[in-house]
Amino acid sequence: MMLDVKDIHTYYGESHALQGVTLSIEEGETVCLLGRNGAGKSTTLRSIIGLTPPRRGQVLFDGVDVAGRSAFRIARKGMSLVPEDRRIFPGLTVRENLQIGDYRRPGATQAWTIERIFDEYPMLAELANQDGSTLSGGQQQMLAVARSLMSQPRLLLLDEPNEGLAPVIVQQIGQLIDQLARTTTILFTDQSVHFALKHARRAYILEKGRVVHTASSDDLRADTDTQHRYLSVA
Ligand SMILES: Nc1ncnc2c1ncn2[C@@H]1O[C@H](COP(=O)(O)OP(=O)(O)O)[C@@H](O)[C@H]1O
Ligand SMILES: [Mg+2]
């Protein structure tokens, strides 16, 4: 397993947000973490990468327990998170936003360069000198993912990449995930089931800080009871 999350418990103060989350991802897989608003999706990703470290449990990355290490050190092992709010830096151009993502882990080959990103995503090349904060929501999401790629991640964590985006843009984000999935292991979150079934091989469903269901996308597609019980079915 590339990632093995074992029974993690994460708190905000006294509030017990994750009450024993267990999940694992093999190298090369694309997996979705589903659940309604407040279920614990963001907290799970933030716990994995060390931004809200779990108080109990293990986060094994390549077999090494990284729980309790700093987010910076975990990221350097080859994980990158694109947060829900995308964090595009205002006052910096698209190119500068990409440069900020360029911190390589020791030993990583630089598969992703700014040149390659501009080559593969010409839309970003056209916007290269524009202030990142002037971009549309969809463009900011593309930029946030591209900035993550600059750290040459082996595991990409995407927190609700579709949030607030128009259907046509959601389709483009889906294509981007499919394309990246050929070379990168991906864990993304979503509130509704449709996109997840299309772009992930399997899914975990969270509710109230616990994994309540796990299934292949094919099985979950057929299981409308589970969909209605735990998810927003938009
Ligand atoms: N910064 C925070 N402080 C206190 N409670 C939080 C904070 N962030 C999230 N929570 C709580 O933790 C739980 C899980 O939230 P979150 O992981 O953001 O869910 P999701 O991403 O699935 O919408 C919710 O009950 C939420 O209210
Ligand atoms: Mg969230």
Look up residue 184 and give its two tokens: 């990168």
Q: Is the CB of 139 under 6 A from ligand 1?
A: no
Query: Measured in angstroms, how far is the CA atom of residue 42 from the centroid of ligand 2?
Result: 4
The label of the residue with tokens 């979503």 reads: 190
Evaluate if residue 175 carries a pLDDT over 90. Answer: yes
- Render pLDDT for 120-156 as a digit per residue (tens, 0 to 9): 999 999 999 999 999 999 999 999 999 999 999 999 9
Query: Measured in angstroms, how far is the CA atom of residue 216 from the centroid of ligand 1?
Result: 26
Domain extents for the chain? 3-85+155-230
Evaluate if residue 35 carries a pLDDT over 80. Answer: yes
Superfamily of domain 3-85+155-230: P-loop containing nucleotide triphosphate hydrolases (3.40.50.300)
**Cα separation, 100 vs 157, whole angstroms:** 18
**DSSP letter string over 159-190?**
S-TTTT--HHHHHHHHHHHHHHTTTSEEEEEE
With a CB cutoff of 8 Å and minimum separation 6, the contacts of 206 are 21, 33, 34, 35, 39, 40, 41, 44, 212
Query: Measured in angstroms, how far is the CA atom of residue 88 from the centroid of ligand 2?
Result: 17
Q: Is the CB of 85 under 6 A from ligand 1?
A: no
Q: Is the CB of 38 under 6 A from ligand 1?
A: yes
Question: What pLDDT score does 158 carry?
Answer: 98
**Cα separation, 188 vs 31, whole angstroms:** 7
Which pTM does this prediction carry?
Answer: 0.96
